[in-house]
Amino acid sequence: MKELVLAKMNPNKMDKTVLCYLFKGEEVLLLFRNKKKNDINEGKWIGIGGHIEKGESPNETLIREVKEETNLNILSYEYRGKLYFINGEYKEVIYLYTSSNYSGEIKECDEGTLKYFPINEIFNLPMWEGDKIFLKYLLTNTPYFELELIYKGPTLLSVERIK
């Protein structure tokens, strides 16, 4: 097995974020990033999430970010894994969650367009190639996993499963 890029890095020096996929029956809520300036995710469909603030746990961030971006209240969730996203000098640890237990009415998001999609249609949407890989893990109920995703700009160079 090749040496992981992550092994040469200090995860404490990486940005820390959460990412959540909200399911409603056979649909998943996604966010099309089209409203924010200088957005690394511009033009892509992604899950709901954001940066962990100082003094905040990933679980607290999850609840706050889902509320801020969707107006939905998370009632319960499952911590599914951790992603190490590396794109040039940008390095990020992403805590990955899913939930199908939430309440409230969706509001307009100032970061993009929110929309539910049938699960069988999401892989045809413009999204990060690595997202398609870990979404398959989520959809097949793979137990806790960790992935290292290495990009150069929008191009996925490598994916390594750590756990």
Higher pLDDT, 43 or 48: 48
Check if the beta carbon of residue 98 is closer than 8 Å to that of residue 78.
Answer: yes
63-94 residue pLDDT tens? 999 999 999 999 999 999 999 999 998 899 99
In the chain, the number of structural domains is 1
Task: Pick the range with the lowest mean pLDDT from 10-24, 33-47, 107-121.
Answer: 33-47
* Residue 26 lies in domain: 5-161
Is residue 8 very low, low, confident or very high in pLDDT (cuts 50, 70, 90)? low
Sort residue 63 into left (φ over 0), alpha (ψ -120 to 50) or beta. alpha
**Residue 100 belongs to a domain with what CATH number?**
3.90.79.10
